[in-house]
Amino acid sequence: MAPKKKTSAAAKKATKATAVKEQQAKPVSTSLKRRAVEEEQDESDNDDFGNVDIDMGSSDEENDDAADDSDQGEAEAFPEISLSDDDEEDDEDFQADSEEFDDEDDEELEEEDEYMAGDSLDEADLDEELERELEQEQMEEEDQEESKDKDGFTLPKPYRQRYAEDPLPEIEGNYDSDSSTEETENTIGSVPLEWYNDLPHIGYDIDGKKILKPATGDELDKFLATMEDPDSWKTVKSDKEGKDIVLDDRELDIIQRLQRGIIPDSTYDPYEPTVEWFTSKTEEMPLSARPEPKSRFVPSKWEHKKIMKIVRAIRQGRIVPRKPKDEKPRFYNLWGDDDTPREDHIMHIAAPKMKLPEHDESYNPPAEYLPDEQEIKEWNEMDEEDRPKNYLPKKFNSLRHVPAYDQFIQERFHRCLDLYLAPRVRKNRLNIDPESLVPKLPSPKDLRPFPTHQSISYEGHTARIRALSVHPNGLYAITGSDDNTCRLWEVLTGRCLTMWKFDGVIHALGWCPNPDVWLFAISVGHGEVHLISPPKLCSAEQAMNTDQFTKSGFAITNDDAKKAVTWIRASEADEEKYGYKVRIQHTQVVKQITWHRKGDYLATVSPDAKNLAVLIHQVTKHQTQSPFKRLKGIVQKVAFHPIKPIFFVATQIYVRVYDLMQQQLVKTLQTSVKWVSSIDIHPGGDNLKALQITQISQQGSSSGLISQAIPSFCFLI
């Protein structure tokens, strides 16, 4: 066993010595190849760049290389590898000739694989050698950059150019190119910004963090920016970004083009010549000269086999073409409908149904449906077109006695003509709920307060009551009746305080609205208007004011002037007993009396007096004036405006509004009725209500209850 161990140890030493020799021979072969590369490089440099003097090596290096070649045969255990003898240019040549070194690198890799790394000293020497080579390469690069800065010239580097990346083409900024300025910095997405009006942020970014709102200036800052910033006129605010964006010339040009309604892109030519990819001329030769495949004009072998197989089956009888089917018995549903249902066409309109028979078409109709001889004669004498029915009712004792209907074929023929020739029209009927047409009345609870039951009854008149007036203080009321009496009532108790008896029918009456005067006017008989102050029911001050109010006009009255009415003083006896003050005599019957709100003016209406139908009296001066020279229509009622100097005149159809100050017509209100019976003005003066008597109900004329009038329409002024 001992000799074997010695042999293995000797083999290991021989292997190690061989590896060292190869390692020493490696730089020698490398230096020889470098010298050849330098010579080729000198020739290429001189040819490409002219006369350039470059020191590529020295004679000392050749001597050193020769010494290295002579020392290859000697086996040194640890040879010292020195790379200082090579110049920097040798390394550049090494880097330049990449193709030759590729083969050498492969050989070196194979030699390194054969070498067994067992000696730590050899590995350390190799690492130091590699570090020195790297340092020399860095120094050569620095020297080359310095020479480039000085002379402006650099030797080509095929090795580096081989692995250099191709430069990217430049981006041309045209209308279709992408731009990073179009990318939004606000990454909140398509979220309505109104959600964040009351919040300090405008959304969240991709990481879930809040994006705060940018600072915004006030109106003063905007004004200063407008005055100082020359680009303010082309600055717009982006709602999504929250910042101002200045438009460039290209964007302004696009906006101007859009405003003028032309193509935004100025480089686009809509009228450029057409490029005929396929000419419009008919080509005699095909565009493709490829020959037709053989399969297009040669019958298929396999299709022929399939067809022959079917032909043999038909000849053998295994396949029978157009074989008649066995008829199966058909059964019908006796109780089913004869007409099979089918889907109607979209334009189909069902035919109208025939008229159902009436009672007189029965074989045993009632006796009232049977015509007599005279009716039968008239029916026979009428033309067929004028006959209401094409048959005469007949009576038979039993159904078996009824003969065949002789008009059956004619009726069926006319029915077919109607179905074939008469056009059909679909009429849309309005499906309206009748209850929806009835107006919805409000609940009586919502209309309160209103009278719900009778509280007091004022009884005393024996005929119809034609006039009623309540004192402004609400304590007294006066009524006039056809029994020629006028009664003064106490409203709270219903007691009759005073009664006046006249010679004629009472037509109208009214309290004076002046609270300082105790007076009312009443129209009696043929044109008499009395001013009466009920005695013993007022204070002494009111009595004195009333006496002065009614009698002050007699001192001013001019008897020589022609008047439309006559003012007559009442006798002292009538004044003391009944309270008569003044009597105004008209030419015609006075149907209405109305007072002005101040109580000094009194208007009367006499429909039969023509031009003097409407008169206005001033009680304090005993003066009467006719505001209208000519009236259109018959005057029914008049009224004063409670606030403004406006006078309303109602005829049968119209209500005219006059201005007393300017003495002109303001407007005409047209009604939709035939007869206006009465009008009334709201205390505010904004609304006017006109009444038409559509129904009069008199409840017990003997008891003298007041008639009722139903209002029909009103106006808004």
Find, among 93, 88, 110, the residue nearest to 32 by Cα: 93
| Separation of alpha carbons 650 and 652, rounded Å | 7
Preceding amide of 329 cis, omega within 30: no
| Separation of alpha carbons 137 and 92, rounded Å | 8
Give the torsion sign (CA, 704, 705, 710, 715).
Answer: positive
* Least reliable range by pLDDT among 24-38, 377-391, 689-703: 24-38
Report CA-CA distances (Å) from 263 to 254, 260, 272, 274, 512. Answer: 8, 9, 14, 19, 85
Tokens of 327: 């008829």
- If one compares 34 and 72, the residue with the highest pLDDT of the two is 34
- For the question of whether the overall pTM of this predicted structure is more than 0.75, the answer is no
Q: Go through the chain and tell me how many residues it has.
A: 717
3 state SS of 470: strand
Tally Cβ neighbours within 10 Å of residue 482: 16
3 state SS of 74: coil
Q: In what order do the strands lie in the sheet with 476-481?
A: 465-470, 476-481, 485-490, 496-501
Which residues make Cβ contacts (< 8 Å) with residue 525, sequence separation at least 6?
502, 503, 504, 505, 589
DSSP character at residue 676: -
| Separation of alpha carbons 621 and 567, rounded Å | 10
Mean pLDDT calculated for residue range 18-39 = 48
| Separation of alpha carbons 631 and 645, rounded Å | 20
Looking at residue 702, what is its pLDDT? Answer: 34
Domains of the chain, by residue range, sit at 15-143, 463-631, 632-717
**pLDDT over 90 at 330, yes or no:** no
| Separation of alpha carbons 587 and 610, rounded Å | 11
DSSP character at residue 425: -
Mean pLDDT calculated for residue range 119-147 = 64
Dump pLDDT digits (tens) for 84-98: 444 444 444 434 444
**pLDDT over 70 at 122, yes or no:** no
3-state secondary structure 202-248: EEECCCCCEEECCCCCCHHHHHHHHHHCCCHHHEEEECCCCEEEECC
CB 45 within 8 Å of CB 55: no
CA dihedral 449, 454, 455, 460 (to 10 degrees): 140
The strand pairing partners of 678, in sequence order, are: 691
Tell the CATH topology of 463-631.
Methylamine Dehydrogenase; Chain H (2.130.10)
CB 168 within 8 Å of CB 187: no
Chain Cα centroid distance, residue 266: 37
Burial class (CB in 10 A: 0-12, 13-18, 19+), 640: buried
Dump pLDDT digits (tens) for 44-79: 444 444 443 434 444 444 444 444 444 444 434 334
| Separation of alpha carbons 202 and 185, rounded Å | 12
Tokens of 487: 């009664």
CB 129 within 8 Å of CB 83: yes
* Least reliable range by pLDDT among 77-91, 234-248, 592-606: 77-91
Tally Cβ neighbours within 10 Å of residue 243: 12
| Separation of alpha carbons 30 and 97, rounded Å | 13
Tokens of 97: 């000739």
Per the listing, tokens 């990454």 go with 187
Looking at residue 346, what is its pLDDT? Answer: 81
- If one compares 24 and 339, the residue with the highest pLDDT of the two is 339
Looking at residue 507, what is its pLDDT? Answer: 92
Rounded (10°) angle between helices 2-49 and 59-70: 160
Looking at residue 296, what is its pLDDT? Answer: 85
